[in-house]
Each structure stands twice: as C-alpha cells, then as structure tokens.
Amino acid sequence: MSRLAQNQDEIFDVVDANNCVVGQARRKEIHAKGLMHRAIHIFWVKSDGQLCLQRRSYGKDSCPGLLSSSCAGHLDAGESYDTAAYRELAEELGFTAPQGSLVKLESFPAHPDLGNEFVTVYVLTLDLVPRIAEAEVDALLWRTPSEVDQWIQSSPGIFSSSLAYLFQQPSVRQALGLVTKVQG
C-alpha cells in the first residue's frame, strides 16, 4: 500500500464558479467529489534560461510521478494566493524566496485539466539552491522552456494535465519566451 505524501484531512476553501468561498472541506472530500478549490503554480527559471520541472512524489494523491510545474499547491482555508505561493516554495523546494520575487502572471478559472482548481500562476527568476521535500517531490529536472514544450508534444502522458494545460496558455508561453511579440 502506498503512503500518501500529504495530509488527507487538510482543510481547503470550496469555491463557486465565481471563485467565491462557499464553504470548507477536507482534501480527500474535495478531490473525491471534484469540488472547485484554489491552487498556485510557479514556473522557476534560472538565469541560464533553464526551467525547473518537478517530478511529483509517487505518494501524491493526484498525478503521482508525473512532471509538473516547478512548484504547485493548494491554498489552505482562508489563505491568500500570494501567501500560499511563498509557503509552497519553502515546503516543496526548501527555500524562502524574498518577498516581491514572485511575479504574478495570470489567474485561470477552474477547469477539469486544472483539477477543478482556480489557479494563479507565478514566475520566479532567481538563482537559488533547492532542498526538495522528498515526501512532496521525487526529483527536479532542468530544461529550456522550448525543450519542455517539445517534450509535452511528443510524450504528453508523462506530464500532469495542469502543466500541459498551462503550457498552452498565451501568457505562460510569452513569460517563458515561447512566443514572439507581433511587431506592429
């Protein structure tokens, strides 16, 4: 029997189609019932242009062992997106990013490919040294955004649905240098 990497009794806010809190529930109930809730994703790019991918722990309750964004996580009940983003970096990657170093990119409405999560995406562009939390993260891989984009196209089954979904979004593609601005 595999041991889950997270506490199934964590309490998250349940939200409606407008991302307004309508209640709270435990992680296991939210996932079992497909209730809408909130999460963050962070794309971490070092100065050499390499994007960090996280291979999720095999003990995770969703997308175990799949490649995902550099860091991702749920908002605790009552928590803000920004607070959750900095907390998740410390929990998963073992460093405290300076306040203001995360750049909020865009917020996306709940979608099945996002696990029914309202997701706010951030970009981090600092050279920091990670210390992964092995219960949360199996490994980190470094590739250019272009390599990741090609890899998603050729081997989609090794990526979380949320990463594949976010990599299709124009704001994410532009932030990662995957689209050129139209000259006018």
Closest by Cα among 61, 50, 119, 127 to 88: 119
Question: Do the Cβ atoms of 52 and 145 come closer than 8 Å?
Answer: no
Query: Angle at CA 1, nearest 5°, toward 70 and 41?
Result: 15
pLDDT at 182: 55
What Å distances lie between residue 53 and 43, 71, 132, CA to CA?
8, 8, 12
**pLDDT digit string (tens) for the chain, length 184 residues:** 344 455 667 899 999 999 999 999 999 999 899 999 999 999 999 999 999 999 998 877 777 889 999 999 999 999 999 999 999 999 999 999 999 999 999 999 999 999 999 999 999 999 999 999 988 899 999 999 999 999 999 999 999 999 999 999 999 999 999 975 555 5
pLDDT of residue 59: 77
For 109, the token pair is: 């409405």
Tokens of 132: 């992964």
Amino acid letter for position 36? M
Domains and CATH numbers, the chain: 39-107+118-173 (3.90.79.10)
